[in-house]
Amino acid sequence: MQQFLPLSRVILYVLLALMGFVSIVVWWWQVMVMKGNAMKNPDGSVDDWHEQKILYGMAIADIFLACPATIAGIILIFVSPRWGYYILALVSFWFVWANIMTTVTSLRFEKLRFTFSWFITFPFGSLIGLAYILWTFIHFDIIYFQ
- How remote is the C-alpha of 120 from its chain's centroid? 11
Q: What percent of the chain has pLDDT over 90?
A: 55
What pLDDT does residue 80 have? 93
Spell out the domain ranges in the chain. 6-145
Q: Which pLDDT tens digit goes with each residue over 44-76?
A: 777 776 776 676 788 888 999 999 999 999 999
Q: What is the pTM of this model?
A: 0.88
What pLDDT does residue 124 have? 94
DSSP structure string for 9-78: HHHHHHHHHHHHHHHHHHHHHHHHHHTT--EE-TTS-EE-TTT-HHHHHHHHHIIIIIHHHHHHHHHHHH
What pLDDT does residue 43 have? 67
Q: Which pLDDT tens digit goes with each residue over 106-143?
A: 777 656 778 888 888 889 999 999 999 999 999 999 99
Tell me what the mean pLDDT of segment 2-22 comes to: 95
Tell me what the mean pLDDT of segment 19-39 comes to: 88
